[in-house]
């Protein structure tokens, strides 16, 4: 059975006027194309697209829900950078497999296939909180191998500015989830190829790999008498080199949202 072709931002960009007129309220046509794929804009938000072109594109347009802080301009810049990346050069360094113009990256036990035109394929549903950090990981100018040394979010460049948001959108909701569903963290290990680890002052300590060289450590201590429960998320020191702080936040916020959905549907 034939599958419909899923459009990429660059394929939409090719049929645009490419004048960057900003009538769609975005700074560039490439940003508009990325916003259409992300579900933030509709094709008819471009005043220069003919109706017949919109109809032909719409048949193959797979709309996706957006998760903050996904921004169309950020995605557009990533797509431009991706064109200049040598997959053969970065594959081994970043723990990926290269097959010509396709890069295969393992994320939480699932394979994601990234093409040079920005297309991302996987056996699971592609969601923006995975897609944006995935492309950022490939395009990031610096890279470091896993060190085994753990640091807090605030120790990452820019982490102090993002700390309040990270705590309110990542650590606190995940702690409340673990309080309500004590089995959730152990189930996460099974579902996402995680690993329980020892040597930390926590009831449960587990490591997940949202990207090959971006391991995160979740430490959870259950409530004890008058002492409230505690949950902290740590990052291997290499994460500060391999991803921008915004992408690290996006990954963690997306993970927590996914865990919330799992809890809602299975407990």
- Whole-model pTM? 0.76
Q: What is the pLDDT of residue 2?
A: 37
Q: What is the pLDDT of residue 70?
A: 44
Q: What is the pLDDT of residue 68?
A: 39
Q: What is the pLDDT of residue 6?
A: 59
Q: What is the pLDDT of residue 184?
A: 94
Are 53 and 101 spatial neighbours (Cβ–Cβ below 8 Å)?
no
Q: Which two tokens stand for residue 184?
A: 């959730």
d(C-alpha 196, C-alpha 59), whole Å:
45
Q: What is the pLDDT of residue 29?
A: 86
Q: What is the pLDDT of residue 167?
A: 92
Measured between alpha carbons, how far is residue 103 from residues 68, 96, 121, 139 in Å?
26, 7, 10, 12
Q: Which two tokens stand for residue 239?
A: 């994460």
Q: What is the pLDDT of residue 129?
A: 73
d(C-alpha 115, C-alpha 30), whole Å:
17
Q: Which of 201, 205, 178, 151 is nearest to 259 (CA)?
A: 178
Q: Which of 71, 34, 211, 228 is nearest to 139 (CA)?
A: 211
Q: Which residues of the chain have pLDDT under 50?
A: 1-4, 65-70
pLDDT tens-place string over residues 195-251: 999 999 999 999 999 999 999 999 999 999 889 999 999 999 999 999 999 899 999
Phi and psi angles of residue 252, each rounded to the nearest 5 degrees, phi first: -70, -40
């Amino acid at each position: 059975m034939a599958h419909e072709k899923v459009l990429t931002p660059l394929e939409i960009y090719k049929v645009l006027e490419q004048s960057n007129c900003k009538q769609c309220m975005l700074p560039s046509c490439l940003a508009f194309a990325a916003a259409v794929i992300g579900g933030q804009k509709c094709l008819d938000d471009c005043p220069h697209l003919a109706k017949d072109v919109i109809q032909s594109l719409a048949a193959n347009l797979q709309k996706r829900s957006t998760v903050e802080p996904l921004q169309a301009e950020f995605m557009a810049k990533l797509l431009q950078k991706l064109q200049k990346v040598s997959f053969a050069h970065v594959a081994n360094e970043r723990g990926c497999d290269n097959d010509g113009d396709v890069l295969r990256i393992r994320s939480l036990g699932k394979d994601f296939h990234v093409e040079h035109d920005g297309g991302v394929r996987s056996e699971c549903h592609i969601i923006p909180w995975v897609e944006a950090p995935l492309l950022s990981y490939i395009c990031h100018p610096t890279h470091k191998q896993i060190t085994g040394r753990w640091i807090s979010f605030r120790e990452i460049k820019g982490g102090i500015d993002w700390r309040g948001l990270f705590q309110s959108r990542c650590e606190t909701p995940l702690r409340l989830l673990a309080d309500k569903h004590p089995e959730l963290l152990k189930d996460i290990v099974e579902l996402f190829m995680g690993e329980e680890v020892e040597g930390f002052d926590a009831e449960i300590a587990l490591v997940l790999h949202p990207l090959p060289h971006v391991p995160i450590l979740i430490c959870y201590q259950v409530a004890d008498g008058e002492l409230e429960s505690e949950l902290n998320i740590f990052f291997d020191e290499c994460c500060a080199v391999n991803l921008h702080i915004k992408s690290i936040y996006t990954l963690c916020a997306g993970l927590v949202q996914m865990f919330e959905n799992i809890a809602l549907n299975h407990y």
